[in-house]
Amino acid sequence: MFVATGRSKLNAAQRRYLRRFLPAMLVYSVVIMVSGNAIGHHRVSGGLLIALSIAPALPLLCAIAAVGLYLHEETDEYIRMRAVIGSLGGTGLVLATGTIWGFLEQGGVLPHLPAWFVFPLWAVGLGLSQWVCNLRDRWSGGAE
């Protein structure tokens, strides 16, 4: 969501974001292994299959909520603007990739892309946008 550079310290909103986001991703990594193992190696069906299938999405929803709360709580308007630009970069990458991939998939050129791919792809776009912002900040000079 944000990139702390150099000697910059995390502000209160950034610390709260990490306190929400990191545990959510930790829970996600455990749940995805447990549910994947259960669905792959055991004959589950009905309600249990639905519950195991949806389980990995829940911590990711918490991670998405953490992003939204961070944007709401960040009081440094320039840092918030950069986070919003990063989010737009991620959204743009998801829309562009989904559009191109969808038509190529329809034409039989590419295989089916699972819908859960949107969140990691969005995160990649966010990271790339933040990286570009950081480079621009560094090249602009004037830092003391």
33 or 76, CB closer to another protein? 76
Taking CB under 8 A as the criterion, the residue among 108, 111, 114, 142 binding another protein is 142
19 or 136, CB closer to another protein? 136
Residue 112 interacts with another protein (CB under 8 A): yes or no: no
- Compose the 48-87 pattern: x for residues touching another protein by CB under 8 A, - for all others: ---------------------------xxxxx-x------
> Among 98, 100, 96, 78, which Cα is nearest to 88's?
96
65 or 81, CB closer to another protein? 81
Which letter does DSSP use for residue 7 in this model? T
Taking CB under 8 A as the criterion, the residue among 40, 41, 45, 143 binding another protein is 143
Return phi, psi of residue 143, to 5°.
-70, 140
Distance separating alpha carbons of residues 82 and 91, to the nearest angstrom: 14
DSSP symbols for 68-101:
HHHHHH---HHHHHHHHHHHHHHHHHHHHHHHHH
Instruction: Tell me how crowded residue 62 is: count the other CB atoms within 10 A of its CB.
Output: 16
The radius of gyration of the chain's CA atoms, rounded to the nearest angstrom, is 19
Residue 47 interacts with another protein (CB under 8 A): yes or no: no
**What is the binding site for another protein (CB under 8 A)?**
5, 8, 11, 75-79, 81, 136-137, 140-144
